[in-house]
Structure 1
Amino acid sequence: MTIIKLDDSLLVGEGLTRSCYRHPSKEWLCVKVEKERYHNVTLREISFLKRFERRGISWDMVSEYYGRIDTDKGTGYMFRLIRDEDGSVSKTLGHYLSHEADHVDYDKMRDAFFAFRHFLIMQRIQVFSLLDYNVVYQKVSSSDHRIVLIDSVGNNQFLPVADYIGFFARRVIRRKWYTFEKRLMRDYGGNTRLVSIIEDLRRHPC
């Protein structure tokens, strides 16, 4: 049995429950490892991704799952690692809104927001919560920028009827999208170009 070694040089990001590493030999993959085994966050996420796969969704804006591996930090779960056209790992949306606002083409970002919202609702992609650090802003090419969901897939409703009925799923997703907009306005309200994008989204509800 081969055990993959993961060290800090491969670390992509870290959350409350999981750490995410670049796969040491497969550049298109990342490996998520849970910090505490009792969380089972990843197993819940995978169950939803498998449902999406059975429905035949597009994977353009959500990172798909590629199976388990053994690592020196415990069981690892492999997902597509989102990269930009130049090969660098795509940065979170929050990174751009916080640190690189002057280097963002906001016309392309606006299009990416509209496309991502449409994708979530039409494909019924359920999420625990939408946050600026569980989506990345991928520069696929000079003309194609996307927002891609990399974390927090699932449904935290007490009675999860949205898991099975499309109408309720879309209603829940719209509600969580509106919460996402409010968080962005709260955290980045000084970014006038982002505010303009969100106001435009609200003028054209999906």
Structure 2
Amino acid sequence: MSLLSRTIRRLLPYRLPAIDTQRVYTLDTRTELGRGSKRRCYAHPSNPGLCIKVARWPQRSDAHEASLVEWYCSRGLDRRGVSYTHRPHIHGWIATDQGPGLVVERIRDHDDTPSLKLHEALARGLVAAESVPELLAQLKDWVMSSGVAVNDLSLGNMLLRRRDNAQELVLIDGIGGQKIKLKFMLYRRFGWFARSISRHRWPRYERKIYARIGIGDRETALHTAFEPPQRPPAIASVDRTLGYGTAAQAPGYRRASQRSASSTALISTRIDRTRSSRSRADNSAARSSLAPTNQR
């Protein structure tokens, strides 16, 4: 798959568009809004309603790949008429002193203040943890009905936009992934495929988020983190075509199941050893306290 993805990157015409270099924007480090593994986000120097995403290491050959994925996915959703209820507008590219930058709408609340990330809103008490499941359910309805491929859903990838009488989550990252590969091409062309991938991954996203904010049983969340991934319907049909009667008979599933069993067994062994060590320490302390004191 890696070789296939590299071939696709060379063949498909996903390249940076022509950028006007007559005006180069200077980005101030004091206006940095956040950073991820590949990009930094700055406030727009002259428009408070916009922000600019630039590569952290612009000299790399794949430096702008994540921004290209976001831009092309947004254009594909625009062509399909997908609403901006839970996603920002993507305005295009500009030249900056840190290389090409992707201009994105800066999400704001009803009082025109910048919306906070979900974990920040939770920390400030602007939203209760008990309200998160309902907000995620609204986001999921939009994702499924619109055929949006969500490749990363976390507390840092969602903003809480507060309106007059309602609140909603806005995805500022994680749509379509970060690399140009075969799946990315399928996401853009086939809404049913994007929907299938999101439906397959959504329960795992929810479990991780609930574990982070303290909703639900923590031990259950820890256990389910090591569950082998279920095969999406689109991939399961391929398994059947290749002669695997069930998903569990597919080689990839068997390997995932073995890794899951090994990880779970390792955790159980470590827990048992810790409990045994504590028990021995407690027994030793008890014997010491009961032993007679030698007096001369």
TM-score norm. by structure 2 comes to: 0.58
The answer for the alignment partner of 1:34 in structure 2 is 55
Cα distance change of structure 1 residues 108 and 91 upon mapping to structure 2, 3 Å threshold: same
Greater fraction of residues in strand: 1
- Residues 1:70 and 1:170: Cα distance change in structure 2 (over 3 Å): same
Q: How does 1:146-161 map to 2 (within 5 A)?
A: 146-155=168-177, 160=183, 161=186
Query: What corresponds to 2:137 in structure 1?
Result: 114
Query: In structure 2, what is the equivalent of residue 104 of structure 1?
Result: 127
> Radius of gyration: which is bigger?
2
Preserved contact between residue 154 and residue 205 of structure 2 (Cα < 8 Å): yes
More helix by share: 2
**1:158 Cα deviation after fit:** 7.1
Are 1:130 and 1:176, in contact at CA under 8 Å, matched by a contact in 2?
Answer: no
**Partner residue of 2:193 out of 161, 168, 176:** 168
The answer to whether the Cα contact below 8 Å between 1:137 and 1:147 also exists between their aligned partners in 2 is yes
Partner of residue 74 from structure 2, selected from 49, 52, 62: 49
Give secondary structure in 2 for the equivalent of 1:79: strand
Q: State the Cα distance separating 1:50 from its structure 2 match.
A: 0.9
**In structure 1, C-alpha distance between the alignment counterparts of 2:86 and 2:129, rounded to whole Å:** 19
Displacement of 1:87 in angstroms is: 2.1
Structure 1 gap segments, 5+ residues each: 193-206
Find the aligned partners of 1:13 and 1:21 in 2 and give their Cα distance: 7
Alignment partner, residue 145 of structure 1: 167
- Report the 3-state secondary structure (helix = DSSP H, G, I; strand = E; otherwise coil) of the residue aligned with 1:151: coil
1:74 paired residue among 91, 99, 117 = 99
| Uncovered stretches (5+) of structure 2, i.e. residues with no partner | 1-21, 218-296
What's the CA shift for 1:132?
1.1
- CA shift, 1:110, in A, is 4.8
Report sequence identity in percent.
27
Q: Provide closer, same or farther for how the CA distance between residues 10 and 175 of structure 1 changes in structure 2, counting only shifts above 3 A.
A: same
Structure 1 residues 33-58: Cα deviation after superposition (integer angstroms, max 9, x where no partner): 11123231101111111110111110
- Report if aligned partners of 2:151, 2:198 keep a CA contact under 8 Å in 1: no
The answer (yes or no) to whether the contact 1:108–1:144 under 8 Å persists in 2 is no
Match of 1:127 in 2: 150
Greater RCO, CA 8 A, separation 6+: 1
RMSD (Å), alpha carbons: 2.3
Distance in 2, matches of 1:4 and 1:157, equals 27
Q: Which amino acid aligns with 1:50?
A: R
* Structure 1 segment 193-204 matched on structure 2, within 5 A: none
